[in-house]
Structure formats: C-alpha cells, structure tokens
Amino acid sequence: MTYDPENPQDFIDAEKIWNHIDAANNPAPDRVREVLAKAAEMKGLSLEEAAVLLACEDPRLDDEIFATAKRVKESIYGNRMVLFAPLYITNECSNCCSYCGFNATNKELTRRTLTMDEIKDEVRVLEDQGHKRLLLVYGEHPRFGAEWMKETVEAVYATQSEKSGEIRRVNINCAPLSVDGFKTLASAGIGTYQCFQETYHRETYAKVHLKGKKADFLWRLHAMHRAMAGGIDDVGMGALFGLFDHRFELLALLAHAQQLEADTGVGPHTISFPRIEPALGSEMSTNPPDVITDHRFKKIVAITRLAVPYTGLIMSTRENGELRRELMELGVSQMSAGSRTYPGAYSDPEYDRPEVQQFCLGDNRSLDEVIREMAENGFTPSWCTACYRKGRTGDHFMGLAKQGFIQEFCIPNALLTLREYLSDYASPETRAAGEALLAKSEETMAQRKCGKEFSKLLKRVTDGERDLYF
C-alpha cells in the first residue's frame, strides 16, 4: 500500500495531468467517438481518454457523450436510485477554509453540537419521514475523536420509532483519522467513510485552507488508504468543484480513484460532486474562482460515469430539482432528499436558517415529494442495505456489480423497500404514483431468475413484514 504514516507520498502527478489536458485540446470528432465506443463497453477510461471528452466543445458530440453515459447508467443500475439524508452532528470546526460557513473564524455562525438525546430526537424525525440510510456529518474539530463518533453512531442505531422506523445503515463524513481511529469507526458498524479532498491543486489547496489540520494536503490525500487499512471496505471521495480548473480536478479525482484501486485492490465505492454554494461568512462561496455552468457540470458527471462505470455517483441537494432529474439519467445513482445542513435542523420548524447551516440548498423538497417525482418518472427509490449486512462490500461488491448483480438483486431489494415506504409513510398522491410503478415493475420482475422469490417476499412485505431482502 502506498500510504506510509512516516513518509506519505503525493501521488497526484500535476505535470502528467496538465499534459493530458494540453494533448486533448480540440479533439477530432473521430477521436471523441473512439473514446465513446470504448466507454460503451463499460470497462472504464484512462485519464487521457477522459481528457479527450472533457476537451470536446462540439454540442453534437456533447449530446453523444450524454447519450452514452445514459446507456451505461441504465445497463448497470437500471432505474434504481438510493436515497439518504445527511444528519449534522456538530458544526464546530477548527479549520479555516475560505469557502465554508463552518470556518473557525466565522463569528456570524451559531455553533452547536448535539447531545446524545438530541441526536436521537433528530433520528426519530427522520425515521418518521421514512428514512433508513443516514450520512452523519461532523465539523472537523480535534475534541471530537473516534470514540465519541462511535457513540453517536451507536445512538443512531439504537433509536427506533413507530412502524418500521429504524436506521439500517449509517455512513460517516468526518475529518481524516489515524488507522486506529478508523478501526474504532469500523467497529461501530458504519457503511461508507466519506471525505473530500476539496481541491487536488496544491497551490490552491494552500490558499483556501489557511489553518487547522485540514491544511495538511497529504494527510487528507491518504485518508482513504488509512480508512481501508482500518477495516472500512467502502470509502467515498470527491472534489469541491469551483475552487480550481474543473478539468484538472476531475482528472486528479480519477487519478486518486485509480491509485486507491492499485494500492488496495478496490477503488472508491462512491464519488461525489459538490459545487460551491453560497455560505454565510464566505465571499469565495458567492464568487467561486472557477464557475461551473450547468452544462459543464452535466459533462463532469457523465464523463465520470463513463470513466468509472461501477462506482456509485452521489448528488446532494445543493443542486436544484430540475438539474437533479437530468443527472439521475446521466449517471447519478445515489442522492440525498429532504436534507437540512445544520445540527438540530430536522427538529427545527424554521428550516431555512443561514446563521447555522453549512451552505444554501438548491432543492428544498420533502422526501415524499422527491419520491413521488421519481416514481412518476420511472425511477425506483431505494433504501436497501442488504449488501452491507451480507458482507457484499469492497472488492466483493465490485466483482458482483460487474456480473450484473445490481440488476438482479439490488433492484428487487429496492422495490421491497419502496413497498415498505408506500405502506408506512407515503402521502396519498405519492402512494398512487408508487403503486403504479410497483405494478409495472412486478411484470418485469416476473421475467427474471429471482421472479418467484421476489413475488413471495413482496407479498410478505405487503402483509406487514419488514426488512426482507435478497
């Protein structure tokens, strides 16, 4: 493994990345189509090939990029869309990041850390909405160590509300830890550990991270290696688009994924694409150095889907509902819904409070509204957590995914969780849309190998049993 705690190395080769960008300038249409033909085989792309697609500026060829990404997405993931909610545990932070509302020097922000009882109150609200998967988010402060975070995870798992109200999988977004710290988190039964490099450009990294442990570029860069060494099979990486040239950031992000796979045998379970959004006390957040238009953002997502076809792509509620709809077709396979971005937010009747939240949301719809729209557009919302509990994680999951596992098992599991939601939580309008989708999906499932078993499980869920899966 490349990570050496005594001598961590910078594996982001900036010169090589710029050479790819320069060489790909103004690519010939035949070269673009050659790359797309390879991408359609669902075996991934090299950095050089991804650079070719990034350099394409022909609208007609961009349409072909989008069409190819859509076909790859449909072939691997079908119409399944995993849903989750972020739960902010604390917004206290010791870092000084120029783009973030949690910046330690931001005196306008109201700081808060939830008690264990307050965490449980938040969880009950989310459970009563129908959530089963949470991403716990922590400000990066040295007084919040791995043992304390483990206790917060245990508090979430221990909290149950009425009906089928329970959180079945907790993922974590927190500061990079030592290997021992990650071992502690792994012992709490977390799913994915998520951490973003923010920017892979060293000079920009130093300019925007002015103080705190986060200023250490290499410590953060090797977080995924340490997490996997600590026993966490699934990790999620990402970059904050808008801090520096998007071409460099995307190729560096893909290089990070390749390095992780080369060193550990498996790449990231997920990749995220946050764009800078306005945040209290951050001028940079309202005037980002590299403006990412919606069209450019769509290309970033589509190219990533083609470059790492079996990696989950996550879209947050930073983006508006209309763009999120488009991105579901182009490559996104997981998204947050009904999100709030500050501690205690779900118990707060005044949900739009800039003095406490990390950034402004683009999609303020409720979970129920998001599900209704998904169902009406033929997407199957999923809260499935079967793979985590059956040990289908890390390289095991990736191996199964490449054999068509998602279509054969994850989609039927998604339908079972949708049946639960419709019975226990849905509004009448959402229930009607979901029932129509379920009826259509049952016809399709009947043609599959697992068709008979699926019908039996679906009937059991309809009759009142919960948490059934393949």
Note the pLDDT tens digit of each residue in 188-222. Answer: 999 999 999 999 999 999 999 999 999 999 999 99
Q: Quick one: which of 232, 256, 171 has its CA closest to 394?
A: 232
Summarize the confidence of residues 244-262 as an average pLDDT. Answer: 98
Q: Report which of 143, 157, 221 is spatially closest to residue 191, judged by C-alpha positions.
A: 157
Same domain, 128 and 177: yes
How much of the chain is helix, strand and coil, in % rounded to 5? Answer: 50, 10, 40
- Looking at every residue in the chain, the average pLDDT score rounds to 94
Q: What's the pLDDT band for 277 if we cut at 50, 70, 90?
A: confident
User: What gap in Å lies between CA 420 and CA 464, rounded to an integer?
Assistant: 9
Residue 280 pLDDT level (bands cut at 50, 70, 90): confident
- Ramachandran bin of 130, using left for φ above 0, alpha for ψ from -120 to 50, beta for the remaining angles: left
Same domain, 382 and 408: no
pLDDT for 427 beyond 80: yes
Q: Is residue 64 part of a domain?
A: no
Q: Is the pLDDT of residue 261 over 90?
A: yes
Residue 257 and residue 127 share a domain: yes
Is residue 4 over pLDDT 80?
A: no
Shared domain for 232 and 154, answered yes or no, is yes
Residue 12 within any structural domain of the chain: no
Q: Does one domain contain both 171 and 198?
A: yes
Percent of the chain with pLDDT over 90: 82
> In sequence order, what are the residues at sequence separation of 6 or more whose Cβ sits closer than 8 angstroms to the Cβ of residue 257?
237, 267, 268, 271, 308, 311
Neighbouring C-beta atoms of residue 289, cutoff 10 Å: 16
pLDDT digits (tens, 9 = 90+) for 121-140: 999 999 999 999 999 999 89
Q: Domain for residue 17, yes or no? A: no
**Are 379 and 410 members of one domain?**
no
What is the average pLDDT across 440-455? 89
Residue 356: its pLDDT value, please?
67
Per-residue pLDDT, averaged over 236-252, amounts to 98
pLDDT at position 400 is: 74
Strand partners, 193: 172, 235
Q: Does residue 341 share a domain with residue 377?
A: yes
The answer to whether position 361 is within a domain reads yes
Q: Are residues 309 and 424 in the same domain?
A: no
Residue 392 has pLDDT above 90, yes or no: no
- Separation of alpha carbons 443 and 80, rounded Å: 16
Regarding whether 305 and 382 lie in a shared domain, the answer is yes
Count structural domains, the chain. Answer: 2
pLDDT of amino acid 408: 79
Domain boundary among 387, 412, 433: 387
Task: Give the separation between CA 39 and CA 308, rounded to whole angstroms.
Answer: 9
Residue 2 pLDDT: 63
- Specify the pLDDT at position 163: 81
State the residue range of the domain holding 158: 74-387
Average pLDDT over residues 415-444: 96
- Of 352, 387, 422, the residue that ends a domain is 387
Report CA-CA distances (Å) from 143 to 139, 247, 301, 425.
10, 37, 36, 38
Answer yes or no: is pLDDT of 398 > 90: no
Please indicate, yes or no, whether residues 306 and 439 belong to a single structural domain of this protein. Answer: no
Lowest mean pLDDT among 115-119, 376-380, 398-402: 398-402
Burial (Cβ within 10 Å: 0-12, 13-18, ≥19) of residue 310 = buried
pLDDT given at position 46: 98
